[in-house]
Amino acid sequence: MSTQLPRYSAEETARRGDEIYENTIRAQVEATHHGKVVAIDIDTGAYAIDDNALSAYHRLRAQYPDAEVWFVRVGHRALHRIGGRPVVGRVLFPAWSIATLKPLSAFGSVELEVGNRISRQ
């Protein structure tokens, strides 16, 4: 499989993908596929549904090898989430980095930058 460079900016991909989902796909999948992932080709409007993003991606790319793909989780605002609910007090994160989250040890301590403040957990 060759590497494909994106044809659109991230903002344009998101705009087009969300527009296709809201206008054409949502009504067809919302009642019967809650929690599943929809992979959408933002050029053709074609889509595939599966339990996870990787499987949905492979289903779509099998039929449309040049698809520019956008993902939506049916019935949810986001494809993925981190954590389950707001936590007060000490917060433990796995030892990975996302945005301004920086691992300090292999056991899950992190440095979390919030605005101009740094919180060590």
Residue tagged 């919030």 (tokens):
114
Amino acid 77: pLDDT: 83
Q: Per-residue pLDDT tens for 81-98?
A: 776 554 444 444 444 433
pTM higher than the cut 0.75: no
Q: Are 60 and 20 in contact (CB under 8 A)?
A: no
Q: What is the mean pLDDT of the chain?
A: 76
Q: Are 40 and 70 in contact (CB under 8 A)?
A: yes
- Mean of pLDDT values over 63-91: 77
Task: Dump the DSSP string for 86-101.
Answer: ---S-----S--BTTE
Residue tagged 């060759």 (tokens):
2
- HSE, side-chain direction, 13 A CA sphere, residue 110: 18
Whether pLDDT at 101 is above 50: no
Q: Cα–Cα distance between 105 and 43 in angstroms, integer? A: 44
Cα-to-chain-centroid distance, residue 92:
22
